[in-house]
Chains A and B, each alone.
Chain A
Amino acid sequence: MKANPHHHVYTPVSKKRFHLGDKYQLFLMALPFLLLVFVFSYLPLYGWIYAFYDYRPALPLSQNEFVGFRWFTSLVSNEFQREEVFRVMRNTFAISTLGLLTSVLPVIFAIFLTEIKNAPFKKIVQTLTTLPNFISWVLVYSFAFMLFSVDNGFLNNLLINMNVIDQPLNVLGSDNHTWLSMTLWGVWKGLGWGAILYIAAITGIDPELYEAARVDGANRYRLMWHVTVPGIIPTFFVLLVLGIANFINSGFEQYFVFKNAINMEHIEVLDLYVYNIGIENNNFGFATAVSILKSIVSLILLFAANSMSKLVRGEGVI
């Protein structure tokens, strides 16, 4: 192996060159990706302009009729539209409220799972209850269909065999308890997954706290209530705040796959409504106006939730 005579000369030079252009070089390497962010996340903000036109995508913008705030005012002035929006907001609020109420279930799940001392059983429970989180809503609907359909569903066969009912129930093709059933599907899919963070939080509780309480004569229930619960309240609070921030973002996929002509009255949440008027009915101007209002309200909720968190915990969530 030859010794490199230039070694001593080279090192300082290349080091210097490295540092000179370094900051721009780093930026230039990130630039293509930052452009992607601009195009797919910031450029759509330019699309807000369509809310002020009677927009037809086939025509250039200049040939579309400028309507000013007509789409926004029609939300309030047009009686039909007002009722529609009221119905959609009612559905969104109902489903989101039920979602917030059930957000306590993962906490309960985690606390009671910690009380299970049989490790293999615990492992099986955790594995199988987390699994539904990783399947798509289409697949959830497939399960729902196979289990609850009218003609050959599992539930109807079971109940008819047991002589509980003599007419099959039409669970999916009915508008009874739509909000509740949507919430329950959400719980089925998300409970095991939602509990993971809390289980981790419980694992992080100092075992000495339990020891000390036990020495003081606390029984199992008192340990759960006075040690475990306070240990995971901070985690619960953060997730609750995030839940409030996402109050009107109830989502799309679940309602899109479960919707049908019968349950539309109660299943049509904001995102589904915007899809229906915009992409299905091509009323782009109005749908953009609703999209804008939703984005703004959602941002306000985020900041409100963040301030609330700062007030209570002294730390924000964003």
Chain B
Amino acid sequence: MGKNSKISMFDVCNYTIFALFTLACFFPFYYLFINTISNNDLSSRGLVMYFPKGFHLTNYIQVFKIPGLADATIVSIGRTVIGTVLTVAASGFLGYLFSKPTMWGRKFWYRFLIATMYFNAGLIPWFLIMLKLGMVNNFLAYIVPGIVSPFFIILVKTFIESTPISLQESAQIDGAGHMTIFWKIVMPLITPVLATIAIFSAIGQWNSIQDTVFLITDSKLFTLQFILYRYFQTATSLASLLQAGGGSVNLATIQTATSIRTTVSMVVVIPILLVYPFFQRYYVKGMMIGAVKG
């Protein structure tokens, strides 16, 4: 009896602590969301605390009328799609090439690549070189530096090396070139790894703000993340944007600093929430493969 009550006491504490921490992780998402669909006047006074009040969806339409926001959405989507496609293609192809022991100087070039994971020249030397390369205020700065990613290449190479080589060999005997072998034989095999890479790369691209902070001053190239960051820095200029959304004099739906901040936040987080359930099963696998050294 004594022993049983002691164990259940442990369980009670354990469940409670996990429930509280889980709530703490989830509540901010919920809190922002209910504020975006509630009466904007109540929301800006902080009176929407647990449940939506005065439901409406106008914020999600109004917010895209803010100058620059539609452009930023296009830039964010553009860099995510183009960047992800190129990174996945390059990781797959390089992973394949480096899995070939016959490659000229393979050991050296592989180290040449992997070494970049462990050193970097430093922010300012990097910035000055990027400036010289014309990467400042250039959309390519979002894409090109990230195409070759050592970590992803290790993932692919390790995975290819774990698959039977016989398929590749028989295609080789039939006279297939490397391009054909890669497309027809290796690609279908490594799809699960490429899916993992695509998800990580896309989330990285979508969430990135550092490159915009360092390299971009042209407002046409701002991303959603950067615009959102600026909404928290410049409360006064945000107020002037409100007029742009005008037309409505209804206090419940007129845009406020709070409604803009929360709605843009939701716009930024919704894509993540949408893909999250699908890639959850991939990330553990991805991390386990990554733990194996290349």
Q: Is the C-beta of A85 less than 8 angstroms from some C-beta in chain B?
A: no
In the complex, the answer to whether A135 meets B125 with C-beta atoms within 8 Å is no
In the complex, the answer to whether A41 meets B116 with C-beta atoms within 8 Å is yes
**Residue count of chain B within 8 Å CB distance of chain A:** 89
* Shortest Cβ gap from B92 to chain A (Å): 12
In the complex, the answer to whether B228 meets A139 with C-beta atoms within 8 Å is yes
A236-268 residues with Cβ-Cβ distance < 8 A to B are 252-253, 256-257
In the complex, the answer to whether B148 meets A36 with C-beta atoms within 8 Å is yes
Residue of A nearest to B17 (CB): A112
Q: Is the C-beta of A179 less than 8 angstroms from some C-beta in chain B?
A: no
| Chain A residue contacts of B31, Cβ below 8 A | 143, 146-147, 154
Binds B, one of A7-15, A76-84, A90-98: A7-15
Residue of B nearest to A19 (CB): B102
In the complex, the answer to whether A274 meets B123 with C-beta atoms within 8 Å is yes
> Given contacts A26-B97, A279-B214, A284-B124, is CB(A11)–CB(B129) below 8 Å?
no
> Given contacts A27-B105, A158-B49, is CB(A37)–CB(B133) below 8 Å?
no
| Chain A residue contacts of B165, Cβ below 8 A | none
Q: Is the C-beta of B79 less than 8 angstroms from some C-beta in chain A?
A: no
In the complex, the answer to whether A23 meets B228 with C-beta atoms within 8 Å is no
In the complex, the answer to whether B207 meets A135 with C-beta atoms within 8 Å is yes
Q: Is the C-beta of A127 less than 8 angstroms from some C-beta in chain B?
A: yes
In the complex, the answer to whether B10 meets A220 with C-beta atoms within 8 Å is yes
In the complex, the answer to whether B122 meets A11 with C-beta atoms within 8 Å is no
B115-147 residues with Cβ-Cβ distance < 8 A to A are 116, 118-129, 131, 133, 144-145, 147
B203-244 residues with Cβ-Cβ distance < 8 A to A are 203, 206-210, 213-214, 225-226, 228-229, 232
Q: Is the C-beta of B28 less than 8 angstroms from some C-beta in chain A?
A: yes
Q: Using a Cβ cutoff of 8 Å, how many contacts connect chains A and B?
A: 251
In the complex, the answer to whether A45 meets B125 with C-beta atoms within 8 Å is yes
Q: Is the C-beta of B278 less than 8 angstroms from some C-beta in chain A?
A: no
Q: Is the C-beta of A318 less than 8 angstroms from some C-beta in chain B?
A: yes
Binds A, one of B18-26, B56-64, B66-74, B185-193: B18-26
* Shortest Cβ gap from A184 to chain B (Å): 11
Residue of B nearest to A145 (CB): B232
In the complex, the answer to whether A29 meets B121 with C-beta atoms within 8 Å is no
> Given contacts A152-B45, A196-B287, A274-B123, is CB(A25)–CB(B178) below 8 Å?
yes
| Chain B residue contacts of A252, Cβ below 8 A | 210
In the complex, the answer to whether A23 meets B102 with C-beta atoms within 8 Å is yes
Cα of A138 to Cα of B262 in the assembled complex, Å: 12
> Given contacts A33-B94, A131-B26, A139-B228, is CB(A26)–CB(B125) below 8 Å?
no
In the complex, the answer to whether A34 meets B109 with C-beta atoms within 8 Å is yes
In the complex, the answer to whether B123 meets A271 with C-beta atoms within 8 Å is yes
Residue of A nearest to B176 (CB): A18
Q: Is the C-beta of A67 less than 8 angstroms from some C-beta in chain B?
A: no
Residue of B nearest to A13 (CB): B175
In the complex, the answer to whether A139 meets B123 with C-beta atoms within 8 Å is no
Contact with B along A273-296 (1 / 0, CB 8 A): 011001100001001101110110
* Shortest Cβ gap from A143 to chain B (Å): 4
| Chain B residue contacts of A274, Cβ below 8 A | 122-124
Contact with B along A93-105 (1 / 0, CB 8 A): 0000000000000
Q: A27-B105, A40-B148, A142-B32 are in contact. List 14 more A-B contacts (CB 8 A).
A: A15-B172, A26-B106, A27-B109, A37-B112, A39-B133, A44-B120, A44-B121, A46-B129, A47-B129, A112-B14, A134-B207, A135-B272, A136-B207, A157-B46
Chain A residues engaging chain B, CB cutoff 8 angstroms: 10-11, 14-15, 18-19, 22-27, 29-30, 33-34, 36-37, 39-48, 50-51, 55, 57, 112-113, 115-116, 118, 121, 124-125, 127-132, 134-139, 141-143, 145-147, 151-154, 156-158, 188, 191-192, 196-197, 200, 220, 252-253, 256-257, 271, 274-275, 278-279, 284, 287-288, 290-292, 294-295, 298-299, 302, 318
